[in-house]
Amino acid sequence: MQRIGVFICHCGSNIAATVDVERVTEALAKEPGVVYAVNYQYMCSENGQQLIKNAIAEHRLTGIVVCSCSPRMHEATFRKTAEAAGLNAYMVEIANIREQCSWIHKDIEEATEKAIVLARTAVAKILLDKPLTAGETGVTKRALVIGGGIAGIQAALDIADAGYEVDIVEKRPTIGGRMAQLDKTFPTLDCSACILTPKMVDCAQSDKINIFSYSEVEEVKGFVGNFDVKIRKKARHVDETKCTGCGVCMASCPSKKGLNEFNMNLNNRPAIYIPFAQAIPNVAIIDPEQCLKLKSDKCGLCQRKCGVGAIDYKQEDSFVERKYGAIVVATGFRPIKLDNFNEFGYADNKDVVTSLELERLMNAAGPTKGTLLRPSDGKHPKVITFIQCVGSRDVSGCGKPYCSKICCMYTAKHAMLIREKYPDTEVHVFYIDIRTPGKNYDEFYRRAVEQYGVDYIKGMVGKVYNENGKLMVQGSDLLDNKQIVIPSDLVVLATAIEPDPSVRDIATKLTISIDTNDFLTEAHAKLRPVESPTAGVFLAGVCQGPKDVPETVSQASACASKVIGLLAKDKLKGNPCVSHVDENMCTGCSQCEQVCPYGAITYIDKEFRIGGGKTETRRVASVNPAVCQGCGACTVTCPSGAMDLYGFSSAQILKEVEAICKR
């Protein structure tokens, strides 16, 4: 038999002014199962809690109902109170008589009656409550970072700095991400490589960080504290442990037609290559599409030239399985494809380039060794026109509805750098709005206009066409209210950015969600901006939304602190309000498994006695309480009524319905 105590809070006058607490106390004292009812000014106060503790001991209570503010406010408080008095923390129910009653009703009679019903409903529920214990699981003290751009690098360095092991899985042959491709960075104009490559080297040298380059996450199982991850190391046909990165192979390779991805395909590279001089790891890789040996078994020159015997044409993909306690997703972005924007003539004119291509054309390690030359004829462009918001803030469906956030700033950067280096160049920028919030950002943009004389034109570009070797940029000047045509030598498109397309696959594998633009969704837009909705999975960098390097780094460090907080724990307490199966009723139909968003349900073969000393083996559902988040989807889906949820059982909810409907 349950012995329930009911504790009615005045909340000062918040409740007591509208609810007649004495009447509630009297009514509840008569409720079957209730052995004690009392009201007090502030139940959550030190004295109030002591009153509850004393009552639990004195009246040998088996459960308590607190009639007070919302459970979202003080449920945790009263669970602790109960626990301190030797009760199970889950033998507590809250009747919300403040937010749902005293604060919204004026009539005392009406509010008091409602408070009584709400309290009775809570009593009906608690009578079926059972003590619950949250399961505990160990924590694997290692983190996985997916994506080795600046976000992933920063997160890994911070986690390693706290003394934990970190693995970085990077799908490209080197870490560094987009930042490695940039020339200079706003707002300070320091060289990107100069600030990034030391961090890349730190990753390589840290004894806590392990880099799986040219690798992808194949499969993720498990849950917070204990993820089991299978990593596919794609065949690079070069033995990483032997290669010294000397580059002899590159010089010897006769197949030199591969497109150089690092240089945005603006020049070529051999079939065996190292992406760029400071690549980490500094190990060559063979492009199987270009390699003569792999394609037609001819050649084999690099193997003969390699002094350390690192070339392995027969290498195949291999797999590594590792356990992790936490995962950071940092898969970054790419510029969108411009197929929907024929008006800018990108496909037809070599001298219409994207901003990322321009970064390579201005970079000392780029295809032109840092001298700005037109891709078509290698001449210095004299008139350069930038077009901002290409594919951003586009609600027509051709582009992206959001603002890519970084383009105003990097276009100002490009314009300034060009005017600085080639003062005889004329630079025009078409813009819709200039958006430069951020420390020293608007000042940066104004410098471009005031100090560097960049011609900013508010207006949209209608089309870009080639006339006698000149790129004619036709657009509107909204401030002067006229149509203009600017004959240009080079046109730069500030192209919208979008999440790396692999993000969908990653989101599915980790059961995290993406928004309508494929950016990963955070657990709470304001209060939990670096956590994903799945416990133990965190988000850093542009994969979560457009951002620049400083913002990316802050978010990555925030992720790292969350990860460190998690890994610092030896045990994780779960939520005990999870579902469970009545194996005798389960038919093994699989319907629950299909609705569970977390993959918490698996099937086991179980032996049942069927009488006459015989047994039969049946397949039944089995819930992993550490994975189950307690949504209850399975409980309703189950056609046999075999699934139920602790803390919110069907019988309890039915009792609540009955209590409310009792007239």
Binding residues (CB under 6 A) for ligand FAD: these are 146-152, 169-172, 177-179, 182, 185-186, 216, 330-333, 335, 355-356, 359, 406, 410, 413, 497, 500, 502, 506, 541-542, 547-550, 552
Cα(414)–Cα(384) distance, rounded to whole angstroms? 10
Shortest Cβ 130–ligand SF4 spacing (Å): 17
Q: Could you tell me how far CA 107 lies from the centroid of its own chain?
A: 48
Cα(662)–Cα(656) distance, rounded to whole angstroms? 10
Q: Which does 159 bind (CB under 5 to 8 A by kind): ligand SF4, ligand FAD, another protein, none?
A: none
Nearer to another protein, 71 or 499 (CB): 71
Q: Is 422 in the site for another protein (CB under 8 A)?
A: no
How many other CB atoms are there within 10 angstroms of residue 437's CB atom? 8
Specify the stretch interacting with another protein by CB under 8 A; choose among 130-138, 428-436, 584-592, 647-655: 647-655
**Residue 587 buriedness (CB in 10 A; 0-12 / 13-18 / 19+):** middle
Nearer to ligand SF4, 16 or 631 (CB): 631
Q: Which does 663 bind (CB under 5 to 8 A by kind): ligand SF4, another protein, ligand FAD, none?
A: another protein
Range 525-564, binding another protein (CB under 8 A): 533
Shortest Cβ 365–ligand FAD spacing (Å): 16
**Strand ranges (E), 30-91:** 34-40, 63-68
Cα–Cα distance list, 112 to 134, 221, 344, 369 (Å):
36, 51, 70, 81
Cα(123)–Cα(3) distance, rounded to whole angstroms? 11
Shortest Cβ 620–ligand SF4 spacing (Å): 6
Nearer to ligand SF4, 11 or 645 (CB): 645
Give me the 558-587 binding string for another protein, x by CB under 8 A, dash otherwise. -------------------x----------
Q: Which does 522 bind (CB under 5 to 8 A by kind): ligand SF4, ligand FAD, another protein, none?
A: none
Considering only 30, 46, 106, 614, the residue that binds another protein (CB under 8 A) is 106
Q: Are 458 and 432 in contact (CB under 8 A)?
A: yes
Considering only 260, 461, 635, 642, the residue that binds another protein (CB under 8 A) is 635
Specify the stretch interacting with another protein by CB under 8 A; choose among 103-111, 436-444, 458-466, 545-553: 103-111
Q: Are 354 and 335 in contact (CB under 8 A)?
A: yes
Closest C-alpha among 563, 561, 598 to residue 578: 598
Considering only 193, 549, 630, 642, the residue that binds another protein (CB under 8 A) is 630
Q: Is 30 in the site for another protein (CB under 8 A)?
A: no
Cα(28)–Cα(123) distance, rounded to whole angstroms? 9
Considering only 10, 98, 293, 428, the residue that binds another protein (CB under 8 A) is 98
**Residue 549 buriedness (CB in 10 A; 0-12 / 13-18 / 19+):** buried
Tokens encoding 493: 């498109």
Q: Is 651 in the site for another protein (CB under 8 A)?
A: no
Q: Which does 359 bind (CB under 5 to 8 A by kind): ligand SF4, ligand FAD, another protein, none?
A: ligand FAD
Shortest Cβ 437–ligand FAD spacing (Å): 14
Q: Which does 136 bind (CB under 5 to 8 A by kind): ligand FAD, ligand SF4, another protein, none?
A: none
Buried b (16+ CB within 10 A) or exposed e, 116-152: bbbbbbbbbbbbebeebeeeebebbbbbbbbbbbbbb
Q: End-to-end CA distance of the chain, in Å?
A: 26
Q: Which does 591 bind (CB under 5 to 8 A by kind): ligand SF4, another protein, ligand FAD, none?
A: ligand SF4
In three-state secondary structure terms, 73 is: helix
User: What are the φ/ψ torsions at residue 483 (nearest 5 degrees)?
Assistant: -85, 140
Nearer to another protein, 477 or 505 (CB): 505
Please provide the DSSP assignment of 362-411 as one string.
HSTTSTTTT----TTT-PPPSEEEEEEEESSS-TTSSS-SS--SSHHHHH
Considering only 23, 53, 80, 105, the residue that binds another protein (CB under 8 A) is 105
Cα(85)–Cα(329) distance, rounded to whole angstroms? 43
Nearer to ligand FAD, 37 or 264 (CB): 264
Considering only 41, 100, 554, 624, the residue that binds another protein (CB under 8 A) is 100
Q: Is 120 in the site for another protein (CB under 8 A)?
A: no
Shortest Cβ 405–ligand FAD spacing (Å): 9
Tokens encoding 82: 């109960």
Which residues are near ligand SF4 by CB under 6 A?
578-579, 581, 586-592, 595-596, 598, 600-601, 621, 623, 628-634, 637-638, 640, 642-643, 645
Cα–Cα distance list, 49 to 7, 10, 46 (Å):
10, 14, 5
Specify the stretch interacting with another protein by CB under 8 A; choose among 113-121, 311-319, 435-443, 482-490: 113-121
Q: Are 270 and 250 in contact (CB under 8 A)?
A: yes
Nearer to ligand FAD, 223 or 444 (CB): 444
Please provide the DSSP assignment of 501-553 as one string.
TTHHHHHHHHT--B-TTSPBPPSBTTTBTTB-SSTTEEE-GGGGS---HHHHH
Closest C-alpha among 410, 452, 642 to residue 546: 410
Shortest Cβ 216–ligand FAD spacing (Å): 5
User: What are the φ/ψ torsions at residue 348 (nearest 5 degrees)?
Assistant: -95, -20
Bridge partners, 10 (sequence order): none
Range 391-420, binding another protein (CB under 8 A): none
Nearer to another protein, 125 or 233 (CB): 125
Q: Which does 587 bind (CB under 5 to 8 A by kind): another protein, ligand FAD, ligand SF4, none?
A: ligand SF4
Nearer to ligand SF4, 64 or 627 (CB): 627
The helices-and-strands tally (H runs, E runs) of the chain is 17, 34
Nearer to ligand FAD, 335 or 630 (CB): 335
Q: Which does 589 bind (CB under 5 to 8 A by kind): another protein, ligand FAD, ligand SF4, none?
A: ligand SF4
Buried b (16+ CB within 10 A) or exposed e, 382-393: ebbbbbbbbbbb
Give me the 55-74 binding string for another protein, x by CB under 8 A, dash otherwise. ---------------xxxx-
Given CA atoms 368, 372, 373, 374 in this order, what sign does their dihedral have?
positive
Q: Are 55 and 5 in contact (CB under 8 A)?
A: yes
| Residues contributing to the site for another protein (CB under 8 A) | 70-73, 96, 98-101, 103-107, 110-111, 113-114, 117-118, 121, 511, 513, 533, 577, 595, 597-598, 629-633, 635-637, 645, 648, 650, 653-654, 656-658, 660-663
